[in-house]
Structure 1
Amino acid sequence: MKNFYRRGMLIIMFLLAMGLLVILAINQANAAPLSPPIYFNQQEIAGSVTNTSGEALLGVTVLVKNRQYGTTTDANGTYTINATTRDTLVFSFIGYKTQEIALKGRQGLDIVMEEDIASLNEVEINAGYYSVTERERTGNISRVTAEEIENQPVVSPLQALQGRMAGVEITTNAASPGAASTIRIRGVNSLRDEGNFPLYIIDGVPVNSIPLESTSLLGNVGIDPLNNLDINNIESIEVLKDADATAIYGSRGANGVVLITTKKGQKAGTGLEAGFYYGAATVQNRLDLLNTQEYIDVRRRALENDSVEPTERNAYDLLVWDQDQYTDWQKFLFGGTAETANANIAFSGGSDRTSFRLGGSYFTQGTIFPGDYDYRKVTGNLNLNHTSKDNKFQLNLAVNYGVDRNNLVGNVDFNASTIYLAPNAPKIFKEDGSLNWEDWGGAGLKNPLEGYFNNTTTQTDNLISNIGLSYEIITGLRLKSSMGYTYYNSSELREQPRRSYDPSESITNKATHLKADRRSWIVEPQILYNQSFGKLNLEALAGATFQENNSIRESFLSDGYASEALIGNIGAAEKIINAKRDNTDYRYAALFSRLGFNWDRKYYLNLTGRRDGSSRFGPNNRFANFGAIGTAWIFSEEPFIKNNLPFLSFGKLRGSYGTTGNDQIGDYGYLDAYEATRGPGGLYPTGLANPDYSWEINKKLEAGMELGFVQDRFRLSLSRYQNRSSNQLVGYPLPYLTGFTTVQANLPATVENSGWEITFNSININTDKFKWDTSFNLSIPENELVSYPDIEQSSYANTYRVGQPLNISLLYEYTGLDPETGFYTIRDVNEDGRFDYQDRIVIQDRNRNFFGGLNNNLTYRTISLQFLWEFVKQQGFSSGFSAGNIGNSSDAILSSLDGEGPYQQLSQSVAASRAYNYVLSTNFPIHDASYLRLKTLSLAYQLPLKFTNSIGAKNWKLYVRGQNLLTLTDYEGLDPENPYSVAIGNLRTLTGGMHINF
């Protein structure tokens, strides 16, 4: 705890230091005032800019026509600018019609700007090394903005993308805050799980996307490396999907690219914004299980059917345990309420040349599980931008720093084994709060929450920094350099006190220590050229990348502490065992280029190329070439379209083809590896060299069409893609006689991902008082193992099938209930009297058939409502229908009391248990797991401006927000988002808060 608050103070000191740098920079800028040129009879012109609803517009650009200077409006919509009374002022703002108004002797000018739906096409989109407008992009790029992200009380920004992007599938893996979500952009390309992570870019700096290892409850899914980001500081998230968009990243873009851009300061005046919310999260669903009386009836019937006399050995739940005892184990295990709170503050300001934003936040969330566990994080951020007086030199600085502390349960996993405890089982704890061993031991059992008092504390530090410098040598030719540094440190202590375990066992106080350290730097010099030649516009980019990553992992076990209070103090441990330290270096270098042509803003051609070098390959295969071509035709600009289809306001055809690579494998795999023996002076081999393996190759093909109707009030986008990944990099299994388990190699396998993506946006109503817009996205993905020569002779013969998806289950065929025994039966395909993989003839596709989201935004005067429905079509697995054994079951098996229904006869026999275990590997428990979920709901009220201005505020918003409020599904498990596990993924969260601008 002390370390956490100490690091929180370091963040505050860091912010103060950065703030001092900002003040010095602004003072330096003010030392030489950036005044506009002096013209005859020039004077100060002042005014305000509002929209048709009377709301002040912040950031409107005000220029003096035919002059080289201007200004922007402040948060009150006001501006001042020096001009002559004969000048003309030009007002421009994204989403509004540009206006040119002559002063004609006036010394002040107030204007009202009208919305221009078509101008939304001019919104700039971050494409990585360059920017492009929505209208002119040739690649497939999805984007969400700060308004959509801020509506969600989540820890990681990835969770804010669920249901909002076509082709982007995100699954929440655990209810514990900090757990890594799974993100897949257009499917799974690699046979290896670790080969399917996308590339994360934060303010131009690549961040390692692989989740961090943990010994806590998060061990199965890992820790999300994006946890330390401040959600409130994100301006936008772009996801690059097709070859045209990703090829410029070469080998790093095979699985898509996630670009996160943080907020910048305002260019006029200063502003202070603060926000706070508080709420609670609970589990949104529970299983329908038997109560005590139903459970006892089922157990007694099972014994009767088996003609078995109950004894304290085979029926301790009926003869030893209290028959009137009832515990709702779901309520006990995960029926708690996790309180959550967030506070954030940001100060921004600047002038026409220099702007800054300095912010920080605090977030905390409790747990739904029993115990005093929580997650906390403190973040700080700085963004500084400066442009020289002649507009030739530009400086951009972005720094994000965060510390989080995750205090989670040590090794007690509240999974199916505890969910299905008998409802009349003994209490877990004694009156004094210690674990109850006696009552459980009387039945020959261990307390199911053995290890409850274990505690795992994980603390991480994350620094992401980048500085960009650019200088225009001549008109249209600019030199640029981006330099970034990241540091991620994770320190984890798992305390295992003796009181967590049965006193009859000789277990000592001990602790597990795990530390991970990731450091990287990157330098990317670039040269950019932009020039127009009549109707031809040329954009050229050439650059290089030099990157180095260093990773360190340390782990050991300290044992034999004399007191629980000393656990974790290494000096107090009796012994240190299993100490291990791994240090790996990864170097990456590349040359990249881009040529973009457009003719008359109708015909577009985009060419990208990259040559990559990675230290993960041997000298013979270290370098590879990647590239793409993208093209677009805005056919709505053609005269024959304008004249014959006046309702079509926008029409574009686009296509792309290219290759990206993949080097997401372990380091040094091409070398022989050795480790020291336990005895002195010896080495033994642990890895077999293979200097000949090379890059995975991902070939991407796409065609798309975008349409706009009725002045772009209705927008439709349709994309068809096909990606093929070949030359698969895997750890190829070897026979034991070789002395090694695997060797890194390329397999002759090809994986194809294809599908359709549809997006639709509409502005349904757009009046001064009421506005309503809708967005819709639909993804229909397909995944297939296209080829794998001689797969029958490989180690993957029982894992994959050619012509089927990668994510499949090979199942037995269920053949109904045996009329004699009443037990489940499965088909013995080859009739050899046993069941093995030769009998698994049913192929179950575990992928989603389709998924998407429907979002609506409604605004009436000062009241706004936003809600997002997420939908998924899929199948899933349901268990918990074990009929008759000790342990609870789904109440659906009650039909077996009358000999009806699909479930087998109630029995606790070995034959019945065997039949149940077999049927779990058939198509019998596979059911529809589709769902429709109210993912987000936000209701906000903007307080009247007269009131907010009277207290010195510019605006004040109150809101109530909900997350995962309602799920409509026939799925019988806990969460249909995880339909093949008994996992609690999403919590139902309700928060209330406010946001104030000063």
Structure 2
Amino acid sequence: MQKNILFAVLVLLCLNFSVNGQAIISIKGRVMNHIGKPLARASIKTKSAAASSTNDAGEFKMQVTESIGTLSISYTGYKTIIINYSAANRNNLEIILDEETGNLDEVQVMGYGQTTRRLNTGNITTIKAADIEQQPVTNPLAALQGRVPGLTITQTSGVAGSSFKVLIRGQSALDLSKSQNDPLFIIDGVPFEQGNTAISRLNSAAMNSAGEGGLSPLNTINPQDIESIDVLKDADATAIYGSRGANGVILITTKKAKYGKTNFAVNSYTGFSRVGRTMNMLNTSQYVAMRKEAFKNDGITPTAANAPDIMLWDTTRYTDFRKLLIGNTAHDAQMQLTVTGGNEQTNFRLGGNYHRQTAVFSKDFADQVASVSLNVNHRSNNNRFAVQFSAQFANDENRLPGKDFSRYLNLPPNLRLYDEARNLSWADSGVVYNTLGNGDIVNPLALLNETFNGNNSNLTGNLILNYIIVEGLTLKTNLGYNAFFTKGSSLKPSTSIDPYLISDYGVRASSGFSSSQLQNWIIEPQADYKVSVKWGKLSAMIGLTLQSKSSESDYQTGNNYSSDLLLNSIAAAGTITASNDESLYRYSALFGRVNYNYMDRYILNISGRRDGSSRFGPDKQMANFGAVGLAWLFSNEDLIRNNLPFLSSGKLRASYGVTGNDQIGDYKYLNLWSNTTSTYNGLAGLRPNTLFNPDYNWERIRKAEIGLELGFLNDRILLTAAYYRNRCSNQLINYTLPSQTGFFQVVKNFPGLVQNAGLEFTLTTVNLRSNKFKWTSAFNISGNRNKLIDFPNLSSSSYSGSYIEGKSLGVIRALKYLGVNPQTGLYTFEDLNGDGSLTSADYQVFGDKDARFSGGLQNNVSIGNIEFSFFFQFTRQTGLNYVNQLSTSTPGKMYNQPELVLEHWQNPGDDSPVQRLTTAANSTAGLLGYLRLSDGLYTDASFIKLRNINCSWSLPQRWLKHSPLQACRVYAQAQNVLTITGYKGSDPETQNFYVLPPLKTFVFGLQLNL
């Protein structure tokens, strides 16, 4: 027995030193990524031993039979490298992997984790820093336009810092005032609670005449600090966020610290911006001819009383108001400084940015943003404990005029602006401007004296703690804080007021002040477990969310100031009106996810969340949401791999889940009252606002999707296609109540059902590739169909005039426009029921305002050190034409018109798009009221925009060999370069003649690395 044991020990000892006569060599090392983070389960392969993998600390140990050889190290999302080992270095291998640039293996940020396109079961679109940095924009949303299928982003104005409309896969809410369609924005794991809600209650040039638009809070996020933006769309990707992800999720990941020697980078550019597509207006001779013809058609003789503009004013005087008011050149300048460095235990990134852009109104108006960002990573020597801290602070100071000067482009072109003494003119030939028209004929240059100052500050901080308990089990805590502060003032000095209003009506200087603060903190402890099981990999995650958001705001207006010098003091106002508001929101959740990967062929992903919100009444505050995602990587099947060699990758995926919505505002289930200026016995009064209703609960959105992803020729051609169907039920709406109840409205659930369904396609190709030349393309297109599936008792509800069952929420329901009668020269409309009058009973359906399809095309070309790229965005849609803005000013009255009115009707038999000219408010002019209720208001608003051009040249390294520079790059960039459209109006994106269109921007820059 003892001999047998001794023999076995000898055999084992021999095996430890030789196999088939060869020596056994032990190799040890560690694998890390480019920022010094250990990579767990990285694959280690060599010719003379079985494959191995790293542990959670990134360490590996393996035995080989070759004293000199090579190791192949690979990890999903990183470039595979091959290194040499020998007796001299086999025990202290330090291996750094760079991120993979291939599309399928690029890292994607998902809810509480990371994945790749190859292994993802959900629908996530990632926009990388390389695409963002090519665009001279200050708002991250501008960098996404046209690049993400299913994501619609529309700029509301060309004013610097203005807001954007964001919609992911269509509108689901019946009542936009209470159930917003904006997605959830998360920055480095911290919810950006200000979201996409426009800032400030004060009027500024960023708002249109209806009070829509405003300044964007996302303008405080520096695009140059962003590493990637991930757009989560389907249930598998968004259900992990529960109610907060009902309308999609946009994850913004900032740039992180890098491991290596200290590097200093400078990126600076300067440039200019000009107004984009507008409309040509009549010159003075054309305007005078229009006015005279209008009087002739009316049978009225023009006199000094009814036509001072052509009888008293100088008809040879001409002011091109488009050039005067919005034709200036805006100047852009930006400076970005970044320092990175550190060792494998501690590394950092510190960045600072300053951007300034003036306005096309005047050089005195400007928007300037200053920001600073910090990221620090630290890891213990045993690699079990890691901490990551990131913070960003930005201050946006926007000095705008009080109004958008685009709204004054229709002033008479011979309006006198200065009198003989070169003072601003408010009258001409004894005729006071404010007595003409509707009081909107003014001297626009006086409005330059009005000022708006919006000061917005955004602070975001995030601390992530990781600790590896045992191999495969990690505890993680995410601590986040976000604060958004706004302070604004709007001053209207006496120099901007018509002196006749001051003398005759006692109008005095006025001012407005507003301020608000929103503070949000979040705590999310989390446990992750990963293990390799038979035939696959299993990962599980469970976490808890605790969140609190508080907000405060106040608003004051002051009137009847005795001096313009006192406008900045609210206490100096003759009369003061003030209001304030305060709210608190609490949110908690328990969430989890289980993912099983079977041999990289079949992937199952299950996620769930239990949400609790303070926005609902007792017993209604909790709700459950969840999703399941499946993926079949059929290209890894032997049958496919052996018989379809041209198919390099193929995946079929599907998902289904339920998300919710609590975006209804705070305290709406309670009786709410608001103050009123009316008094009773000298005491301030209150009026009812909303009615007590503790019974409404969560809105629910059920999402289903199926997708196909294919790769050909070693993934040089990648094609994805997806079909989705989202159904929103139990709608939260602001229901109008009869006035006799004493309340105007009540928040309630309504059993309406809204569906959004559509198709999305993306195609990326490597067209040509060699050592010195590369050409790649990326194309995407998507189309969404919105439909109101069910609305009980619609005909008897307050929504009967807005929606139709079976049609889109954006349905166009109007009178049928028949054109201009060739004999009478008047607009005509179809009397559907033949009763001799035009009423709502004659309304018909003429499609909808939803985009039929949209997308973009990107091309990147590199030749040696030269890189060139351009991006086209396209949209097929129906929109409002210029009549929507100008029909209130009857062609022929004392308002200028676009050159399109030159095609008006003049003689019997004329086939014209514009009716006969008139100056009177009679039945002829009154037909414009019917025109605004007809489909004649709409036109094809489709467009193709050359959204971005980028060209750069990097100096050859041999030129920099004897300089302190590591890299040097010069570049030129352009944004909103060209618009191709047949749209009858100003810009097909804004669709409003009275709003400044998006600007064309051209910049030239220099980037240095030291």
TM-score under structure 1 length normalisation: 0.89
SS of the equivalent of 2:389 reads: strand
Task: Decide whether aligned partners of structure 1 residues 43 and 949 sit closer, same or farther in structure 2, where only a CA change above 3 A counts.
Answer: farther
Q: Which aligned pairs between 1:255-266 and structure 2 lie closer than 5 A?
A: 255-266=247-258
The 2-side partners of 1:339 and 1:304 are apart by 47
Task: Decide whether aligned partners of structure 1 residues 343 and 738 sit closer, same or farther in structure 2, where only a CA change above 3 A counts.
Answer: same
Cα displacement (A) at 1:120: 4.2
Match of 1:79? none
Q: Is the 8 A contact 1:975 1:983 kept in 2?
A: no
Match of 1:414? 405
Match of 1:590? 589
Task: Decide whether aligned partners of structure 1 residues 43 and 543 sit closer, same or farther in structure 2, where only a CA change above 3 A counts.
Answer: closer
Q: Which aligned pairs between 1:643-662 and structure 2 lie closer than 5 A?
A: 643-662=642-661
Match of 1:214? 201
The 1-side partners of 2:935 and 2:729 are apart by 31
Task: Decide whether aligned partners of structure 1 residues 841 and 476 sit closer, same or farther in structure 2, where only a CA change above 3 A counts.
Answer: same
| Counterpart code for 1:643 | N
Q: Is the 8 A contact 1:85 1:106 kept in 2?
A: no
Match of 1:177? 160
| Counterpart selection for 1:903 from 914, 918, 937 | 914
| Counterpart selection for 1:894 from 887, 899, 902 | 902
| Counterpart code for 2:924 | A
The 2-side partners of 1:484 and 1:439 are apart by 65
The 2-side partners of 1:477 and 1:597 are apart by 16
| Counterpart selection for 2:487 from 488, 491, 515 | 491
| Counterpart code for 1:466 | N
Greater Cα offset, 914-923 or 746-755: 914-923
Q: Is the aligned partner of 1:359 residue 2:362?
A: no
Match of 1:425? 415
| Counterpart code for 1:420 | N
Match of 1:612? 611
SS of the equivalent of 1:619 reads: coil
Q: Is the 8 A contact 2:35 2:258 kept in 1?
A: no
Superimposed CA distance per residue, residues 743-788 of structure 1 (whole angstroms, 9 cap, x where no aligned partner): 1111121111110000000011111000010000001111111110
The 2-side partners of 1:949 and 1:294 are apart by 66
| Counterpart code for 1:690 | N
Match of 1:80? none
| Counterpart code for 1:223 | L
| Counterpart selection for 2:239 from 229, 247, 251 | 247
| Counterpart selection for 2:442 from 447, 456, 464 | 447
Match of 2:454? 458
SS of the equivalent of 1:664 reads: coil
| Counterpart selection for 1:469 from 441, 460, 465 | 465
Q: Is the aligned partner of 1:380 residue 2:380?
A: no
The 2-side partners of 1:811 and 1:643 are apart by 60
SS of the equivalent of 1:318 reads: helix
Match of 1:167? 150
SS of the equivalent of 1:523 reads: strand
Greater Cα offset, 244-253 or 667-676: 667-676
User: Identity rate of aligned residues, in percent?
Assistant: 37
The 2-side partners of 1:243 and 1:227 are apart by 29
Match of 1:968? 980
Cα displacement (A) at 1:316: 1.9
Q: Is the aligned partner of 1:500 residue 2:521?
A: no
Q: Is the 8 A contact 2:287 2:413 kept in 1?
A: yes
Match of 1:5? none
Q: Is the 8 A contact 1:311 1:319 kept in 2?
A: yes
Task: Decide whether aligned partners of structure 1 residues 605 and 377 sit closer, same or farther in structure 2, where only a CA change above 3 A counts.
Answer: same
Cα displacement (A) at 1:436: 3.4
Match of 1:580? 579
Q: Whose Rg is larger?
A: 2
| Counterpart selection for 1:912 from 924, 929, 946 | 924
| Counterpart code for 1:501 | I
Match of 1:520? 520
| Counterpart code for 2:389 | L
Q: Is the 8 A contact 2:820 2:912 kept in 1?
A: no
The 2-side partners of 1:541 and 1:242 are apart by 20
SS of the equivalent of 2:640 reads: helix
Task: Decide whether aligned partners of structure 1 residues 42 and 582 sit closer, same or farther in structure 2, where only a CA change above 3 A counts.
Answer: same
SS of the equivalent of 1:642 reads: helix
Task: Decide whether aligned partners of structure 1 residues 821 and 461 sit closer, same or farther in structure 2, where only a CA change above 3 A counts.
Answer: same
Q: Is the 8 A contact 2:893 2:918 kept in 1?
A: yes
| Counterpart selection for 1:289 from 259, 281, 286 | 281
| Counterpart code for 1:421 | L
Q: Is the 8 A contact 1:97 1:119 kept in 2?
A: no
Q: Is the 8 A contact 1:877 1:981 kept in 2?
A: no
Superimposed CA distance per residue, residues 802-858 of structure 1 (whole angstroms, 9 cap, x where no aligned partner): 111112332111123335532111123334444332222233411111000000000
Match of 2:741? 738
Match of 2:641? 642
Match of 1:144? 127
Q: Is the aligned partner of 1:342 residue 2:347?
A: no
Cα displacement (A) at 1:683: 5.2
Task: Decide whether aligned partners of structure 1 residues 552 and 58 sit closer, same or farther in structure 2, where only a CA change above 3 A counts.
Answer: closer
Cα displacement (A) at 1:907: 2.6
Task: Decide whether aligned partners of structure 1 residues 152 and 319 sit closer, same or farther in structure 2, where only a CA change above 3 A counts.
Answer: same
Match of 2:851? 848
Q: Is the 8 A contact 1:289 1:888 kept in 2?
A: yes
Task: Decide whether aligned partners of structure 1 residues 545 and 581 sit closer, same or farther in structure 2, where only a CA change above 3 A counts.
Answer: same
The 2-side partners of 1:748 and 1:643 are apart by 53
Task: Decide whether aligned partners of structure 1 residues 88 and 427 sit closer, same or farther in structure 2, where only a CA change above 3 A counts.
Answer: same
| Counterpart selection for 1:938 from 950, 963, 967 | 950
Match of 2:1002? 990
Q: Is the 8 A contact 1:71 1:268 kept in 2?
A: no
| Counterpart code for 2:84 | I
SS of the equivalent of 2:219 reads: coil
Q: Is the aligned partner of 1:565 residue 2:562?
A: no
| Counterpart code for 1:886 | M
Task: Decide whether aligned partners of structure 1 residues 902 and 490 sit closer, same or farther in structure 2, where only a CA change above 3 A counts.
Answer: same
Match of 1:25? none
Q: Is the 8 A contact 2:282 2:897 kept in 1?
A: yes
Cα displacement (A) at 1:435: 5.2
Match of 2:531? 531
The 2-side partners of 1:431 and 1:603 are apart by 83
Match of 1:927? 939
SS of the equivalent of 2:935 reads: coil
Q: Is the 8 A contact 1:91 1:99 kept in 2?
A: yes
SS of the equivalent of 1:953 reads: coil
| Counterpart selection for 1:771 from 769, 774, 787 | 774
| Counterpart code for 1:248 | I
Greater Cα offset, 125-134 or 943-952: 943-952
Q: Is the aligned partner of 1:305 residue 2:293?
A: no
Q: Is the 8 A contact 2:308 2:431 kept in 1?
A: no
Greater Cα offset, 210-219 or 946-955: 210-219
SS of the equivalent of 2:725 reads: strand
Cα displacement (A) at 1:413: 3.3
SS of the equivalent of 2:961 reads: helix
Task: Decide whether aligned partners of structure 1 residues 548 and 996 sit closer, same or farther in structure 2, where only a CA change above 3 A counts.
Answer: same
Task: Decide whether aligned partners of structure 1 residues 946 and 143 sit closer, same or farther in structure 2, where only a CA change above 3 A counts.
Answer: same
Cα displacement (A) at 1:546: 0.5
The 2-side partners of 1:43 and 1:752 are apart by 59
| Counterpart selection for 1:691 from 694, 712, 725 | 694
Cα displacement (A) at 1:280: 0.6
The 2-side partners of 1:433 and 1:468 are apart by 62
| Counterpart code for 1:165 | V
Cα displacement (A) at 1:105: 6.7
Task: Decide whether aligned partners of structure 1 residues 439 and 255 sit closer, same or farther in structure 2, where only a CA change above 3 A counts.
Answer: farther
Task: Decide whether aligned partners of structure 1 residues 563 and 438 sit closer, same or farther in structure 2, where only a CA change above 3 A counts.
Answer: farther
The 1-side partners of 2:842 and 2:716 are apart by 56
Cα displacement (A) at 1:304: 2.0
Match of 2:189? 204
Q: Is the 8 A contact 1:949 1:955 kept in 2?
A: no
The 2-side partners of 1:901 and 1:869 are apart by 35
Q: Which aligned pairs between 1:783-802 and structure 2 lie closer than 5 A?
A: 783-802=786-805
Match of 2:4? none
Q: Is the 8 A contact 2:159 2:998 kept in 1?
A: no
| Counterpart selection for 1:131 from 114, 117, 122 | 114
Q: CA RMSD in A?
A: 3.2
Q: Is the aligned partner of 1:825 residue 2:828?
A: yes
Match of 2:49? none
Task: Decide whether aligned partners of structure 1 residues 440 and 550 sit closer, same or farther in structure 2, where only a CA change above 3 A counts.
Answer: farther
The 2-side partners of 1:184 and 1:981 are apart by 23
Uncovered stretches (5+) of structure 2, i.e. residues with no partner: 1-23, 46-51, 59-65
Uncovered stretches (5+) of structure 1, i.e. residues with no partner: 1-39, 50-55, 73-83
